[in-house]
Structure 1
Amino acid sequence: MGRLEPQGDLMLISKRTQTFVYQILYADVSNCLPEYATLKAMGYSDLSLSF
């Protein structure tokens, strides 16, 4: 009682990992927004910026 099943432990670790990865990606994208806006203002398409 009170002890998680192995699947529960894995789900908890997975959720924490997803949160960590999300925070890293969010910070990286946030830091690049000014450059993205500049390229969009210069006329680059979404497709050309996705690669």
Structure 2
Amino acid sequence: MLWTIAIILLVLWALGFGVFHVAGGLIHLLLVIAVVVVLFRLITGRRAV
């Protein structure tokens, strides 16, 4: 589930550079948060149920 959200945010972030210029900043912020959460889960070794 978390990987799916991260991939969707990555695609939206890429679109944000050209198509959705106004929403690009918000999508970039959400993408950074998603990457931090994924890294935290990988470092701690916890598995999502």
CA radius of gyration, larger in: 1
TM-score (norm 2): 0.48
TM-score (norm 1): 0.46
- Relative contact order: is structure 1 or structure 2 higher (C-alpha 8 Å, sep ≥ 6)? 2
